[in-house]
């Protein structure tokens, strides 16, 4: 963070100010300190902010809709005609991309 000049002309280091007050209770109706740690009535940390972030990350990663779908190998006889056409066009697209890549490597 940068140094700012107050209305009275004093220099204020925002990074130092934030680091000095990160354990102070935040203003508002949430029971957190300035870092984001959940605290009780006596300002003791109940759940650190890093733990809360890790839990949210695990939920996102654990969510199958958030992960990239990997195509499963299927037997073409089990597919409908539309699915077969899509599979064939996908294979063609892969071949075209490989040819483009080889052409770029030659240059």
What number of other Cβ atoms are within 10 A of residue 34's Cβ? 16
pLDDT in tens, 71-91: 565 566 677 788 777 777 877
* Alpha carbon distance 26, 36 (integer Å): 8
* pLDDT band (50, 70, 90) for residue 32: very high
- Which helix (H) or strand (E) segment holds residue 1: the answer is none
The stretch 82-104 carries a mean pLDDT of 82
The pLDDT of residue 77 is 65
CA count, 13 A, side-chain hemisphere, 86? 7
* pLDDT band (50, 70, 90) for residue 47: very high
């Amino acid at each position: 963070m940068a140094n700012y000049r107050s209305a009275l002309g004093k220099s204020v280091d925002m990074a130092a100010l934030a680091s000095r007050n990160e354990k102070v209770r935040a203003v508002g109706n949430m029971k957190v300190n300035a870092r984001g740690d959940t605290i009780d009535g006596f300002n003791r940390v109940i759940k650190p902010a890093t733990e809360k972030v890790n839990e949210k990350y695990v939920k996102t990663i654990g969510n199958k809709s958030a992960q990239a779908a990997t195509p499963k190998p299927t037997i073409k006889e089990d597919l409908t005609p539309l699915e077969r056409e899509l599979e064939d066009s996908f294979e063609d697209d892969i071949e075209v991309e490989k040819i483009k890549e080889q052409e770029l490597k030659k240059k």
